[in-house]
Amino acid sequence: MAKKEEAPNMVERFAEFKELKNIDKTTMISVLEESFRNVLAKMFGTDENLDVIMNPDKGDVQIFQNLQVVPDGEVEDPYRQISLTDARADDDPEVEIGEEHTKEIIFANFGRRAILNLRQTLQSKILDLQKDALYNKFKDLEGELVSGEVYQTWSKETLLMDVEKNELHLPKSESIPGDFFRKGETVRAVILKVDNTNNNPRIYVSRTSEAFLRRLFELEVPEIHDGLINIRAVARIPGERAKIAVESYDDRIDPVGACVGVKGSRIHGIVRELRNENIDVINYTSNPSLLIQRALSPARVSSIRLDEDEKKAEVFLRPEEVSLAIGKGGLNIKLASMLTGYVIDVYRDTEEAFEEDIYLDEFKDEIDSWVIEALKNMGCVTAKGVLGTPREVLIEKADLEESTVDQVIEVLKAEFED
């Protein structure tokens, strides 16, 4: 009677756990068998001569002990041997000495203590399995967006609970300045890392990492989610300001416009999520000079001198543009450096140098736009910047025909001669 009550009960309990924790059938059978074997090995001294057959579909377990048949009176190890008389009496009348006799073991007959040991062993293995599954699941999700309900807030961290009641730890250092959470409020973050000290998984999330900004854009901008627009670089000073460089794989799509949305509809939701963090979206380019110019927006750069080996850039601006390039508290130039990977130094050109200088964009009626862009890409933004650059350098770096460069120089010189 005990066999039909206790052993199937263990299988049913494990089956319930399997449904809750998404444990596959193969793992379920393996853990059950290992639990039985561990308990039996303690009882018999070994499990080498035992066959444990799991039937989870039927809800039962069969255990067989393989014993060597020896002459009567010569049994030295009752857990490995059986006398000839006992073997023949145990429904094996034709067995001979030296052969193997298989005997079924009714586990429940060993009493309450054995069943209690089995249950404790099984619970311990289930707990280990649960921890391993939790660690592996969230380890694979590092950098991904997750939502959790605020369960409790302390001075150094906030505890969130996801829909499966897993604990997510949001340290104060990973919270955006200005974050204030109420109990029961839903909070979004990215999975920062998963520690597994002493086989005790602990999941940390972040709202200050660059990955959080990336995931929010993927969520709000379908073109990014679909792979039509790629986020090439992100720089953040959490709660203050951020810059993001994007490029489109489809010439028909304006990446900046798509990210901002009509009247800012797409980016406004992200800004609110980031506690009004100001976000600049710029077009990415592989040309470092042009990328630096765009990263320093809204300042208009006059010229740039690059040291690509040292990753340094000397940027020259009109006096009135310097404060815009640096930004409030130095945020603009700091973010531009983070975004481009260049150490940027800003220099103020004298007023005299700019008295008669003109931005190239003013010559669009006389010079083709694509030519102007080519010159700007190499760091020549003003007329004097072009005229001060050797002709052969303009031809090589701007990748323009000699006749085109000569025509540009002629147009620009004529402006100053007039």
Say how far apart CA 350 and CA 316 lie, in whole Å.
Answer: 10
Does 178 or 231 have the greater pLDDT score?
231
325 CB-contact burial (10 Å; exposed 0-12 / middle 13-18 / buried 19+)? buried
Q: How confident is the model over 191-200, as pLDDT tens digits?
A: 999 999 988 9
> Do residues 112 and 2 make contact, with C-beta atoms less than 8 angstroms apart?
no
Residue 55 has pLDDT above 80, yes or no: no
Does 301 or 211 have the greater pLDDT score?
211
Residue 185 has pLDDT above 50, yes or no: yes
Does 7 or 287 have the greater pLDDT score?
287
Cα–Cα nearest to 295, from 248, 347, 342, 362 = 342
Does 319 or 265 have the greater pLDDT score?
265
Provide the percentage of residues in the chain whose pLDDT is more than 90: 57
Lookup: tokens for 380: 């020549």
Residue 29 has pLDDT above 70, yes or no: yes
Q: Which helix (H) or strand (E) holds 30?
A: helix 25-44
What pLDDT sits at residue 270? Answer: 96
> Do residues 108 and 7 make contact, with C-beta atoms less than 8 angstroms apart?
yes
| Lowest mean pLDDT segment, chosen from 9-13, 176-180, 266-270 | 9-13
The H-assigned helical ranges of 327-401 are 331-340, 351-354, 369-377, 383-387, 391-397
Say how far apart CA 105 and CA 202 lie, in whole Å.
Answer: 42
* Reported pTM: 0.71
378 CB-contact burial (10 Å; exposed 0-12 / middle 13-18 / buried 19+)? buried
> Do residues 101 and 82 make contact, with C-beta atoms less than 8 angstroms apart?
yes
When pLDDT is cut at 50, 70 and 90, the band that residue 5 belongs to is very low
Q: Quickly count: other Cβ atoms within 10 Å of residue 73's Cβ.
A: 8
Residue 73 has pLDDT above 90, yes or no: yes
Provide the percentage of residues in the chain whose pLDDT is more than 70: 92
Over the range 38-64, which residues count as b (16 or more CB within 10 Å of their CB) and which as e? Answer: bbbeebbeebebbebebebeeeebbbe
When pLDDT is cut at 50, 70 and 90, the band that residue 418 belongs to is low
When pLDDT is cut at 50, 70 and 90, the band that residue 7 belongs to is very low
When pLDDT is cut at 50, 70 and 90, the band that residue 32 belongs to is confident
- In the chain the domains, ranked by start, together with CATH numbers, are 2-133 (3.30.1480), 150-208 (2.40.50.140), 356-417 (1.10.150.20)
- What residues form DSSP beta bridges with 62? 53
Cα–Cα nearest to 344, from 311, 377, 376 = 311
Q: Quickly count: other Cβ atoms within 10 Å of residue 394's Cβ.
A: 23
Task: Write down the mean pLDDT value for the chain.
Answer: 88
Cα(first)–Cα(last) distance of the chain, in Å? 112
Residue 254 has pLDDT above 90, yes or no: yes
Residue 390 has pLDDT above 60, yes or no: yes
Q: How confident is the model over 285-313, as pLDDT tens digits?
A: 998 989 999 999 999 888 888 898 999 99
Residue 154 has pLDDT above 50, yes or no: yes
When pLDDT is cut at 50, 70 and 90, the band that residue 60 belongs to is confident
Average pLDDT over residues 105-114: 85
Say how far apart CA 121 and CA 14 lie, in whole Å.
Answer: 12
Average pLDDT over residues 388-404: 86
Q: Quickly count: other Cβ atoms within 10 Å of residue 117's Cβ.
A: 17
Residue 3 has pLDDT above 50, yes or no: no
Highest average pLDDT, of 22-26, 328-332, 387-391, comes from 328-332
Say how far apart CA 94 and CA 77 lie, in whole Å.
Answer: 22
DSSP code at position 176: P
Highest average pLDDT, of 52-66, 256-270, 356-370, comes from 256-270
What pLDDT sits at residue 8? Answer: 44
When pLDDT is cut at 50, 70 and 90, the band that residue 273 belongs to is very high
Average pLDDT over residues 387-415: 87
The angle subtended at Cα 309 by Cα 303 and Cα 311, nearest 5°, is: 55
Say how far apart CA 167 and CA 149 lie, in whole Å.
Answer: 10
When pLDDT is cut at 50, 70 and 90, the band that residue 389 belongs to is confident
Say how far apart CA 144 and CA 192 lie, in whole Å.
Answer: 8
When pLDDT is cut at 50, 70 and 90, the band that residue 33 belongs to is confident
Lookup: tokens for 104: 């079924």
Residue 4 has pLDDT above 60, yes or no: no
